[in-house]
Amino acid sequence: MAAAAEEEAAAREPAGRPAAGPALLRLPEELLLLICSYLDMRALGRLAQVCGWLRRFTSCDLLWRRIARASLNSGFTRLGTDLMASVPVKERVRVSQNWRLGRCREGILLKWRCSQMPWMQLEGDALYISQANFILAYQFRPDGASLNRRPLGVFAGHDEDVCHFVLANSHIISAGGDGKIGVHKIHSTFTVKYSAHEQEVNCVDCRGGIIVSGSRDRTAKVWPLASGRLGQCLHTIQTEDRVWSIAISPVLSSFVTGTACCGHFSPLRIWDLNSGQLMTHLGSDFPPGAGVLDVMYESPSTLLSCGYDTYVRYWDLRASVRPMGTTCWLLGPPTTGSCGCGTGARGPASTPVYCLRFTTKHLYAALSYDLHALDFQKP
């Protein structure tokens, strides 16, 4: 309420510079910008309380960009690319402080009666989530913290639970416990499914018209997405282990598999996408059973992985490894310049966080019995 009253009072003040006041206010704007660029977040906030004109002046994106780039989940990549240009940078810094301090308002968006292992994806103002053997699409309400109860679409076709799915342009590529891969067009009723593996398909990825899949049957396979060639296997790779996770490189030259670490000493291996040949393996100090449950490319040369050994690993010329203390089930995509990790100890029932997605304002976590939303914009 106090902040709203301050903004209302500032809005009533004239837009131009004050006619009287300290000499600082009579400096050219370029010089004022230079001086203010040396201020930290707290000092800029104090300066904004002097008068309405300084409040507006110190709210410009240019002054907050440097602070935002060093803030958590503010929408800037490591190289400085702004992924959320339509949102004022000062507002993103404010919300970022809520992320850093853990200030949020939690709510439950969806509930289901039976225990499930849901997977989900975000696309614009829509959320796609798997429940049993189908995928539901919901539209967010304007606040981003609630859903319209009526689904936008229902995508079916599997005989058993959907284990995993990805969005690829106008398609949903799904992996089922029935050993089949499903291809669904988002904006039509077109659905095709084909037998892909002898046992359940645990993971799938799709980029550049190519699908890769991994299964309990200890194989990884490469498939074309072209409509006339659906179901025609390009390569079959014997992995000697159950494949838990899979991801295609952004440059479409290779893909990585994360396996159970039971039959092969390294659960992380990179394969050539064109030939299916092994290119390299990552690490060799994994204990038996340290399966990799999720893998994700941050860039063509950097890779994130997590799994049963309770570590999130960052693979690059550097190695960043930090114990998490509990099984790491998945990685939240670093589309906002940040990465999240869901573990196996959420809530009093210690249910795993099976899937995690977030924006600069909200975090969505899919558990065994419900879908939670954490609102960091209005805690």
* pLDDT reported for residue 285: 78
* CATH (residue range 2-13+25-101): 1.20.1280.50
Please give the pLDDT value at position 228.
Answer: 85
| pLDDT tens-digit map of 252-290 | 999 999 999 998 888 999 999 999 999 888 887 788 888
Residue 66 CB neighbour total at 10 angstroms: 14
Tell me which range, 75-79, 156-160, 203-207, is most confidently predicted by mean pLDDT: 203-207
Q: Is the pLDDT of residue 9 over 70?
A: no
**Most trustworthy range by pLDDT among 43-52, 81-90, 173-182, 341-350:** 173-182
The pLDDT of 233-238, averaged and rounded, is 96
| pLDDT band (50, 70, 90) for residue 2 | very low
Confirm or reject CATH 2.130.10.10 for domain 105-375, answering yes or no: yes
Asked whether the predicted pLDDT for residue 331 surpasses 80, the reply is no
* pLDDT value for 328: 58
Q: Tell me the torsion sign for CA atoms 328, 317, 257, 158.
A: positive
pLDDT at 317 over 50: no
Residue 342 pLDDT exceeds 90: no
Which of the residue ranges 15-29, 59-73, 225-239 would you say has the lowest mean pLDDT?
15-29
Strand-pair partners of 355: 366
Percent of the chain with pLDDT over 70: 85
pLDDT score recorded for residue 195? 95
User: Does residue 140 have a pLDDT over 90?
Assistant: yes
pLDDT score, position 346? 54
**Domain coordinates of the chain in residue numbers?**
2-13+25-101, 105-375
Q: Is the pTM of this model over 0.85?
A: no
Bridge partners of 259?
243
Per-residue pLDDT tens for 58-110? 999 999 999 999 898 888 887 788 888 888 999 999 999 999 999 999 999 99
User: For residue 1, what pLDDT is reported?
Assistant: 41
Q: pLDDT, tens digit, for every residue of 159-176?
A: 999 999 999 989 999 999
pLDDT over 60 (residue 243): yes
pLDDT score recorded for residue 50: 86
